[in-house]
Amino acid sequence: MHIFQSTYKLMLNKFIILICTALLTACTTSPTGRSRITLMPDAQIKQMGLQAFNDLKTKKKQDNNIRHKQFVNCIADAITHETGGSWEVVIFADKSLNAFALPGNKIGVHTGLINLVDNADQLAAVIGHEVGHVLAKHSNERMSQKTALSIIQKGAALLSPTTDAGKLALGALGIGGQYGLILPFSRAHESEADIMGLDFMAKAGFDPRESITLWQKMDQASQGAQPAEIMSTHPSHGTRINELSAHMPVALKYYQQAQSIGKKPRCHK
């Protein structure tokens, strides 16, 4: 399975290089240095984010608990002070463990997640991660991959293979579309958001080590009765914790620097 996955990932990488050569502007470098394809206009992605957030605000009940608002705003302010830009934060009255950020600088936090965390550092880890997805333009990349994939599939269909090898290749593309191509890139996005989030939280003065506790708590909670919605889109815990641990020395340096210049956000539930 893993061999197949890496084969398809390699195929998509080759295709991306091909597209990048044809359309120079479509190829960009991500904040952690990955080559990636961004075909969509940023303004359009932003508009989609704003629309989605507006829909959520009209459909979902909001949590107007003052203490929750102060807690979440205090954390989000400290983090977005590091990233720049002005961000809107809304708490949704939803018991599931979830938080998200959308293009257009929108952050949503569910009440369930506020109840789960032991301290501000843990929630800072999630908010930093979600903001990382937005700043790294992962939505644009995801939509561009889908476009690239449909071009590959259409191209393969046009060939109308008559040989067994041709049919095999076509079948492989179909399987690749479902399991091979998209999945490894989603994990790449998760890793990137984790590393970016860890740096943001540490630079804002939150203890980056709490990120590991947070993901462990999320993992435990998702195995119990409590729904952990975020886990369905944020898989593979062992890998996540290993990567966070590997990056921890860098993040701890940022944390110590922040502390030394008095960045000690006091955010309490």
User: Which residue, 75 or 193, has its beta carbon nearer to Zn ion?
Assistant: 193
User: Which residue, 40 or 125, has its beta carbon nearer to Zn ion?
Assistant: 125
The single residue listed with the structure tokens 């989000």 is: 76
Written as one letter, the residue type at 97 is: L
Q: If binding is defined by CB under 5 A, does position 193 make contact with Zn ion?
A: yes
Q: Quote the least distance from Cβ 11 to Zn ion, whole Å.
A: 25
Q: Quote the least distance from Cβ 56 to Zn ion, whole Å.
A: 17
Tokens describing residue 45:
């992605």
- Active-site amino acid positions: 130
Q: Quote the least distance from Cβ 193 to Zn ion, whole Å.
A: 5
User: Which residue, 178 or 233, has its beta carbon nearer to Zn ion?
Assistant: 233
Residues near 83 by beta carbon (within 8 Å), at least 6 away in sequence = 131, 135, 200
Range 23-58 burial, b when 16+ CB lie within 10 A, else e: eeebbeebeeeeebbbbbeeeebbebbbebbeebee
Contact 140, 45 (CB under 8 A): yes
User: Which residue, 193 or 204, has its beta carbon nearer to Zn ion?
Assistant: 193
DSSP lists the bridge partners of residue 107 as 89, 101
Number of residues that bind Zn ion (CB under 5 A): 3
Q: Quote the least distance from Cβ 70 to Zn ion, whole Å.
A: 25
Candidate ranges 81-89, 105-113, 154-162, 228-236; the one touching Zn ion (CB under 5 A): 228-236
Candidate ranges 12-20, 111-119, 203-211, 232-240; the one touching Zn ion (CB under 5 A): 232-240
Written as one letter, the residue type at 184 is: P
Among 121, 61, 119, CA closest to 90: 61
Which residues form the interface with Zn ion (CB under 5 A)? 190, 193, 234
